[in-house]
Amino acid sequence: MIRNIVASYSLFMGILITATWILFILTGQVGEFLVKPAEITLHLIAEFTTAMMLIISGISILKKKRKAYNLNLVALGMLFYTLIMSPGYYLQKGEPVLVGIFAIFLILTSAALVLNFKKEYEIKLERLT
């Protein structure tokens, strides 16, 4: 049960991040390419790396890979960071709905982290017995 929740959330967020940025790029909504090309390029590298880590770790959890939960902790930590940093952009643009969405995802990510720690602890206890 916990495995499926954590894996599903990780896969969902990884796919959502990827799809959102591809949509923004293809529709020309990333004006920072003209104003701050280095900053947005590095930001996109961080976003896509986070997304790929979430997808890879989500699949690894479903396949019951040995270090999947450890990898997922890193991925969720990366997501947690971006969910704290990214809303500032939308606050400055005066878009409170998007800030609220980020807040909801931050709460869900916190819950996924707690579940991940719980499951990893259970796995370690099983190995000791």
How far is 115 from 6, CA to CA, in rounded Å? Answer: 7
**Total domains, the chain:** 1
- Rounded to two decimals, the pTM is 0.90
Does the pLDDT at position 73 exceed 90? yes
Choose among 39, 78, 71: nearest CA to 57: 71
Per-residue pLDDT tens digits for 107-118 = 999 999 999 888
Q: Do the beta carbons of residue 109 and residue 76 sit within 8 Å? A: yes
Predicted confidence at residue 121, as pLDDT, reads 72
State which residues form the domain around 23.
2-128
The CA R_g of the chain, rounded to the nearest whole Å, is 16
